[in-house]
DNA sequence: AACTAGCGGCGAAGCGTTTCGACGGTGGCA
DNA sequence: TGCCACCGTCGAAACGCTTCGCCGCTAGTT
């Protein structure tokens, strides 16, 4: 292994000089700087990460805690994870992947050992048990998802309430009077997953404000459960002409079921999906969808934690900070004017 | 921060004794051991990762290099990533997530800095440019996917050839005589992605051995491209009754298209998917599918690298080692006997 | 009875960085 | 001319851990 001493010898300077050249924390003459940089390149020097973290008390690593549970649409998680690593690299940081099965102890271990300088938490629950640990340990963190109490925390999430409202508005604008919301399985709501509840609230509120009749039904996402959900909706509200789907895996079944029940999309029924554009475009007809950028989510979380770590200066002390990302409605072929007669 | 010296003082022993208790590398009397362990617990001691890696020349971290490209089905990647972290934890290892956009330099950086003790490479290409770097640096690695030359390497992958053969056999057994393979987009084949080529080869060989007429068509996975692909297949071989799909996103469109073209599955046409069971069950009818466990893939890769790192003793020096995981055929509702008349 | 072997513990020497203080040298200013 | 400030560089002291060698002891062997 090539060490800083090797570089120093090769460049004819002391190792502290090499360190200062690399960190830029003191002024170094241009010629010395170049000699050192050449030596670094020729020898293929990479500072030893452990030694660095020991001496500087900074590991240049952030931990990303991902849920094991997969009721949240998996590709989105991956997209966030990749966005996080890419964004972190631009600040000289690497990303440690930690699963949630260690729970709060995972946070303790990672932070306590100095393995990571900070933590990004995904799939944060309303009363997440990892948050007290964070605060007890004084660990810097950024949360993707909203806990009940955001004081002193940095959080980022999609504005699910706005997304729900956008769906209601779009259907109302098209003249629909009765709409149904096909959500996630009941477990998700019982767990009080913030995103599910906020979407529902946003949708319900806007629907009522626009004078729409609104119905919410849970759906596990299998073909059978989707069939059951749809049947119940049509039994309870035969006049339903607008559907909003949040459970990604229910989309395919829903379209098939509408078709086999003799309803043409969008002439007889309109469908809006809350999902990624990529997915929305895979169906026939292409789906009108409300989307938030997963990449943006990861990028913002990294920004937040870098600010808290003082890697970038974010103007002042880290207080609480809450960023909600605006959803985007993309109109495609699955929504249209409400049919004249019910 | 609580250090090993704090623990030593609290337990009334030297810090080396604490270290030996924790590592178990020397015998320690039961009473001392317990005193030390109590102290560790009371103080909430976690060894400093950097100091440890510096002194022991082991970081207890493996890097996982994931592709940025997403033509491979994303949930599978995530499943592998999670399986890897879970398996690694059981050996006291953590996982560093590295994206492929750094390319070979990423390997150099990670290994050169001692950040990770070894690397797991996902989405390995036939002539992967990261492999020479690995060997030049003497970095231990496990590959998920098969390069052209596996000498001296540890590799694991699904046995895609066997999977292809399984599909051909199943359709042949059901009496089908003409089958078509809907693969990935042409870019995947031009890139010589091993999994695509091996599936194709396995399928083609077995089809010919079983006396089936076989046709291969690429498909980008959008609704339009699937429609085009299907139209070409039916134009070239109107007698086709068996379909094998590898591109996950083409499955939905294919089923829709078959239905709208008046073909009932499985009475008029049989469909086999090469995809995860979870996905196969989301369609109507539920799909007969050939599957390999993504979790197993991650688990085996971790086993391999732990053996190479000497964390677990794997009997002898690490030579080349190639594990192909057996695929499993699960018969569901999308395949049936070939129709009597073409 | 003398010698060896192993047990249980200690002290100290690294591991490769960062960073603080120090120190000549140079230039500006009084 | 003398003083101060700053620039560029160096030496050395941490940072917290592992591990080697050593040293009493006890117990078993010749």
Distance in angstroms (rounded) separating the CA atoms of residues B284 and A257: 10
- Residue bearing tokens 């337990």: B11
Residues B193 and B221 in one domain: yes
pTM for the predicted model, two decimal places: 0.92
Residues A165 and A277 in one domain: yes
CATH of the domain at B9: 1.10.260.40
**A133-157 residue pLDDT tens:** 999 999 999 999 999 999 999 999 9
* Residue A153 within a domain: no
As a rounded value in angstroms, the CA-to-C1' distance for A40 and C22 is 27
Q: Single out the residue in A36, A56, A76 at which a domain terminates.
A: A56
**A29-41 residue pLDDT tens:** 999 999 999 999 9
Residues B16 and B136 in one domain: no
Any idea how long chain B is? 342
- What would the two tokens of residue A166 be? 């956008």
Distance in angstroms (rounded) separating the CA atoms of residues A269 and A264: 7
The 8-class DSSP code of residue B286 comes to P
Nearest CA among B32, B169, B54 for reference residue B114: B54
Distance in angstroms (rounded) separating the CA atoms of residues B237 and B268: 15
* Residue B261 within a domain: yes
**B37-55 residue pLDDT tens:** 999 999 999 999 999 999 9
Answer with the residue of higher pLDDT: B223 or A194: B223
Contact B48 A286 (CB under 8 A): no
pLDDT for B187 equals 86
* Residue B31 within a domain: yes
pLDDT for B121 equals 96
Residues A164 and A240 in one domain: yes
* Residue A185 within a domain: yes
B190 pLDDT band, cuts 50/70/90, is confident
**Coil, strand, or helix at residue A196?**
helix
* Residue B314 within a domain: yes
Residues B223 and B243 in one domain: yes
A224 conformational bin, left if phi > 0, alpha if psi -120 to 50, beta if neither? alpha
Contact A222 B281 (CB under 8 A): yes
CATH of the domain at A88: 3.40.50.2300
- What would the two tokens of residue B227 be? 């429609």
Q: Is A95 an 8 Å CB contact of chain B?
A: yes
Report B:149-208 residues touching A (Cβ under 8 A): none
| Cβ-based neighbours of A177, under 8 Å, separated by 6 or more | A211, A212, A213, A239, A241, A338
Residues B178 and B281 in one domain: yes
- What would the two tokens of residue A104 be? 């709060």
**A218-256 residue pLDDT tens:** 999 888 999 999 999 999 999 999 999 999 989 999 999
The 8-class DSSP code of residue B154 comes to E
- List the nucleotides on chain D closer than 7 A to a protein CB: 7-12, 14-21
pLDDT for A103 equals 87
Residues A286 and A264 in one domain: yes
Residues B174 and B288 in one domain: yes
**A251-284 residue pLDDT tens:** 999 999 999 899 999 999 999 999 999 889 988 8
pLDDT for B315 equals 56
Distance in angstroms (rounded) separating the CA atoms of residues A264 and B260: 13
* Residue B81 within a domain: yes
Contacts of B225 in chain A (CB under 8 A): none
Nearest CA among B107, B93, B98 for reference residue B304: B93
* Residue A151 within a domain: no
Residue B286 above 90 pLDDT?
A: yes
CB atoms within 10 A of CB B287: 26
Residues A52 and A79 in one domain: no
Enumerate the β-bridge partners of residue B216: B181
CB atoms within 10 A of CB B137: 16
Domain that holds residue A23: 4-56
Residues A41 and A93 in one domain: no
Considering its fold, how many domains does chain A have in total?
A: 3
- What would the two tokens of residue A41 be? 């390149």
CB atoms within 10 A of CB B86: 18
- A202-217 core/surface letters (b: 16 or more CB in 10 A; e: else): bbbebbeebebebbbe
Residues B231 and B187 in one domain: yes
Residue B342 above 70 pLDDT?
A: no
In angstroms, the Cα distances linking B305 to A108, A168, B54, B147, B335 are: 27, 52, 21, 17, 40
Q: Single out the residue in A247, A277, A292 at which a domain terminates.
A: A292
Q: Is A295 an 8 Å CB contact of chain B?
A: no
- What would the two tokens of residue B117 be? 């003790």
**A73-108 residue pLDDT tens:** 677 888 899 999 999 999 999 999 999 988 899 999
Distance in angstroms (rounded) separating the CA atoms of residues A192 and A202: 15
Residues A52 and A65 in one domain: no
Decide if A50 contacts B116 (C-beta within 8 A). Answer: no
Decide if A23 contacts A55 (C-beta within 8 A). Answer: no
């Amino acid at each position: 292994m090539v060490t800083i001493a090797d570089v120093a010898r090769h460049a004819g300077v002391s190792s502290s000089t090499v360190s200062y050249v690399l960190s830029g924390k003191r002024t170094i003459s241009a010629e010395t700087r170049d000699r050192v940089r050449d030596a670094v390149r020729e020898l293929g020097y990479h500072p030893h990460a452990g030694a660095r973290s020991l001496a500087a008390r900074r590991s240049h690593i952030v931990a990303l805690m991902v849920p094991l549970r997969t009721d949240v649409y998996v590709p989105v998680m991956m997209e966030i994870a990749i966005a996080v690593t890419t964004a972190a690299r631009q600040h000289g940081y690497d990303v440690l992947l930690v699963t949630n099965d260690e729970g709060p102890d995972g946070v303790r271990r990672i932070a306590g050992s100095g393995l990571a300088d900070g933590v990004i938490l995904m799939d944060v629950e309303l009363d997440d048990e990892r948050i007290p640990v964070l605060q007890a340990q004084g660990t810097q963190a950024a949360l993707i998802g909203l806990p009940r109490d955001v004081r002193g925390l940095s959080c980022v999430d999609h504005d699910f309430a706005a997304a729900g409202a956008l769906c209601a508005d779009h259907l109302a604008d098209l003249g629909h009077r009765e709409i149904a919301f096909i959500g996630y399985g009941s477990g998700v709501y019982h767990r009080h997953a913030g995103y599910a509840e906020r979407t529902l609230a946003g949708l319900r509120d806007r629907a009522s404000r626009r004078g729409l009749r609104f119905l919410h039904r849970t759906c596990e996402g299998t073909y059978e459960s989707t069939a059951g959900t749809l049947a119940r909706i049509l039994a309870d509200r035969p006049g339903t002409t607008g559907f909003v789907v949040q459970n990604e895996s229910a989309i395919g079944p829903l379209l098939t079921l509408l078709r086999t029940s003799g309803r043409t999309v969008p002439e007889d029924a309109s469908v809006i999906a809350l999902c990624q554009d990529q997915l929305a475009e895979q169906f026939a007809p292409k789906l009108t969808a409300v989307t938030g950028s997963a990449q943006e989510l990861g990028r913002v979380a990294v920004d937040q934690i870098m600010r808290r770590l003082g890697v970038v200066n974010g103007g002042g002390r880290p207080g609480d900070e809450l960023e909600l990302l605006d959803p985007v409605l993309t109109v495609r072929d699955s929504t249209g004017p409400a049919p004249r007669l019910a």
